[in-house]
Structure 1
Amino acid sequence: MTDWNEDAAAGEARVAVHPVAAASSTVVAPLLQDEIAAARSYRAQAKAANTLRAYLSDWSQFEGWCWERNLDSLPARPEAVATYLAALALAGKADSTIGRHLAAIGWKHRQAGLVAPTLRDERMVIADTLAGIRREQRARPSARKAALTAKDLAAMIAVAEGEGTRSIRDRAILALGLAAALRRSELVALERRDIEMVDKGLRLTLRHSKTDQEGEGQVIAVPSGKTLKPVERLKAWLEVRGSTAGPLFYRIEPQGRLTDKPMSDRSIARLIQKYAGRTDLDPETVAGHSLRAGFLTEASRSGATIAKMQEVSRHKKVEVLLGYVRSAELFDDHAGAEFL
């Protein structure tokens, strides 16, 4: 969509001189302005809130990089963008993150009514640079974070001892994160209204997620459990938190005082690494995704079907789920088990 300010002005000018529309110009112009405002509003909702925050952050970083090197960021030359992507790769960014930065740069150009650098890249310097980065990263050893088993998580919950506000909150986050196979972004986006206690556990409503960009909402069943006890731990947190509307998990100040602000997704990763470090686990091997991966790995080991795993994980592609199944069953019925 182009910048509507100039188009609206031109439209009003046409109305003013048109022999038939001139008499009703005082009616048409306000209607057009209302429709323009609606179009802007709908356009603003085209991207999920998390995506917009990421794009704005990525654009700010690119803008700063250009400023330090005396380069134009808007419009940006394809060669400058390709060099920026290379700089991100040198800094150790994953190709998925680099791809998002590139998308953010294109998004900002379109917002400004400019052609995205990728569409002005006649020599394909951006595409070739990105392809080279991806080829190199595929050749590197995988840095995928380890899945947390139920035994691992039980040990982490055990070291989060005490009845302080932070300990109660952290135990609930750890247990619920694995029980519902949640991404760290989903954990911090939960609100109090998303929790409904039922006889067999709780119903968890995810209003937005990576696989639900349109915000249709997804409901996950979380059993009460016998070992990790996610429902019991969440109830303990709710008694501390209270029933007011807002984020399900609040930030806590160093003194232990609750705030009314949601946690950040990075704080979830730090929380997991903190408690992993208090057990026999290497904190460098785990992160936010370890809770989600842990659920899928444990579900596969316990014989859960792909369909039942997908109900909780909400994966759109079964191939991704199969990766967890293969990993969990790697040594089951091994071809060499009888003769090695």
Structure 2
Amino acid sequence: MNTIKLPGQTTLSTNHHVDMKTGMPVHVDQPSLPTILNDKIERATAYAKAARSSATRRAYGSDWAIFKDWCATHGLAWLPASPEIVAVFASDQATAGLNPSTIHRRVAAIGYYHRAGGHPAPTALPTAGRLAEVLAGIRAEHGGAKRQKRPADATALRNMLMTVEGEGLRAIRDRAILAIGMAAALRRSEIVALSVEHVGLVPEGLRLTIAHSKTDQARHGAVIAIPEGSRIRPKALLLAWMAAAGHSDGFLFRRLSRSDALTPNAMSDRAIARLVQHYAAAAGYDPTQFAGHSLRAGFLTEGAAQGATIFKLQEVSRHRSVQVLSDYVRNAELFKNHAGDRFL
């Protein structure tokens, strides 16, 4: 019997039909799968991989490598791995100080590679009860409050921009990244994915097209308005970079060589995080409190502090839910019209 199988999918028979009267399978001789069908299977597999963001795939790849190394060290099989093995791995990770969200992502990565290899995920097996208990215990004991990085609000960002010295290509690029990243509330993955054609110039400022993002896996795209600005001046800083770089297509923010020569390659999202931390340290802040997300958080924090509504913040941040945004607004208004103002 010829069969075809996609990663994580059940086996499909190619030579059995069902009798419509009896409901019983009927054997039918069929030729071997044609090449065109194999091509379609490969294309379907590619679509399945594209369903997850590139950042997630990189994280999963790293998590899977860590799990395999751990199994090799302990003389254990990693594919397929039993729920008991994964439970001990998760426990070791927690003991090593990893936070629950990272451990759960690693368990998800293990499941992903099992399904891709034609095996059920360890968490889906009937014997996975103990594994579920271990993961629940890790959440209960090590969960705690989520540690947030410090937002690069308007004051912090202006201080960081002031430390970018010179008029060389790197300095001009870095100013533009800091300003645009904050002004459009961009994730670091969105910053490096921007292309020159995504920038639209209008009298009021910029129209920035976000072609693909973490919350837009279907690639519908979104257009973000960035005002001209009179303090941070994101439009002026971006135009200065585009003029200095001189590229008319391709990635907007390019990687520079050690001699500051322009390359055709996009920056990595990790480079954005390092850039933010570098200029935070230069401005006198603790760099460990900052990350690539600080630019996005900075816009939301400053916008909420200046009285922007949740819905206006959502226009820029593109959050699916207003719950996260409500936390920014609540934090900005903790002392505004406080219930104890009149008697404390």
- AA aligned opposite 2:286: D
Task: Indicate which of 245, 265, 273 corresponds to 1:261.
Answer: 265
Residue 280 of structure 1 aligns to a residue whose secondary structure is: coil
1:110 to 106, 115, 119: 115
Uncovered stretches (5+) of structure 1, i.e. residues with no partner: none
1:158 pairs with 2:147 = no
Please state if 1:136 is matched with 2:141: yes
TM-score normalised according to structure 2 size: 0.87
The answer as to 2:231 corresponding to 1:227 is yes
Structure 2 alignment gaps of length 5 or more: 18-25
Distance 1:93 1:260, change over 3 A: farther
Quote the Cα distance in structure 2 between the aligned partners of 1:7 and 1:89: 36
Q: Is the CA contact 1:273–1:284 (under 8 Å) kept in the aligned structure 2?
A: yes
Judged with a 3 Å threshold, the aligned counterparts in structure 2 of structure 1 residues 219 and 93 are, in CA distance, closer, same or farther, namely farther
Give the Cα separation in 2 of the matches to 1:104 and 1:43: 15
Please name the residue that 1:81 is paired with: 86
Q: Which runs of 4+ in 1 moved over 6 A?
A: 5-8, 18-22
Q: Could you give the per-residue CA deviations for residues 31-88 of structure 1, whole angstroms, max 9, x where no partner exists? A: 5434434433433333233322222222122212222222111111212212222333
* Higher mean C-alpha deviation, range 275-284 or range 36-45: 36-45
- Specify which of 116, 125, 136 is matched with residue 120 of structure 1: 125
Q: Partners in 2 of 1:34 and 1:251 — Cα distance?
A: 35
Change (3 A) 1:91 1:234: farther
Once the two structures are superposed, the pairs formed by residues 1-340 of structure 1 within 5 Å of their partners are 3=5, 11=14, 25=31, 29-30=34-35, 32-120=37-125, 122-139=127-144, 142-340=146-344
* 1:259 positional shift: 2.5
- Distance (Å, rounded) in 1 between the aligned partners of 2:143 and 2:59: 24
> For residues 255-276 of structure 1, what are the alpha-carbon distances to aligned partners after superposition, in whole Å with 9 as ceiling and x for unaligned?
2222222222222122111111
Structure 1 equivalent of residue 21 of structure 2: none
Q: 1:31 to 1:324 in 2, by over 3 A?
A: same
Between the aligned partners of 1:278 and 1:204, the Cα distance in structure 2 is 29
Greater share of helix:
1
Q: State the Cα distance separating 1:320 from its structure 2 match.
A: 0.9
Identity over aligned pairs, percent: 48
- 1 CA distance for matches of 2:28 and 2:81? 45
Aligned 8 A contact 1:78 1:121 in 2: no
Q: CA deviation at 1:202?
A: 1.2
Moved more, 243-252 or 149-158: 243-252
- Structure 1 pair 31/279, CA: closer, same or farther in 2 (3 Å)? closer
1:161 to 1:333, Cα distance in 2 relative to 1, 3 A: same
| Distance of aligned partners of 1:299 and 1:61 in 2 relative to their CA distance in 1, 3 Å threshold | same
Q: How far did residue 251 of structure 1 move?
A: 1.9
What CA distance in whole angstroms lies between the structure 1 residues aligned with 2:246 and 2:306? Answer: 36
1:201-237 C-alpha deviation (Å, 9 max, x unpaired): 1111112212112222111111111100111111111
Cα gap change, 1:129/1:121 in structure 2, threshold over 3 Å: closer, same or farther? farther
Q: Are 1:12 and 1:29, in contact at CA under 8 Å, matched by a contact in 2?
A: no
**Paired AA for residue 151 in structure 1:** T
What's the offset of the Cα at 1:19? Answer: 10
The separation in 1 between residues aligned to 2:131 and 2:140, in whole angstroms, is 14
Q: Is the 8 A contact 2:208 2:225 kept in 1?
A: yes
CA distance in 2, matches of 1:160, 1:65: 43
Relative to structure 1, the CA distance from residue 90 to residue 248 in structure 2 (aligned partners, 3 Å threshold; closer, same or farther) is: farther
* Distance in 2 of aligned mates of 1:286 and 1:123: 38
Cα contact 1:78–1:118 (8 A) shared by 2: yes
User: Given the superposition, is the C-alpha separation of residues 119 and 7 from structure 1 closer, same or farther in structure 2, using an over 3 Å criterion?
Assistant: closer
Q: Report SS of the residue matched to 2:68.
A: helix
2:200 touches 2:206 (CA, 8 Å); kept in 1? Answer: yes
Q: Is the 8 A contact 2:15 2:28 kept in 1?
A: no
Distance in 1 separating the partners of 2:85 and 2:103: 14
State how far apart, in whole Å, the 1-side matches of 2:97 and 2:272 are.
21
Give the CA deviation at 1:301: 1.4
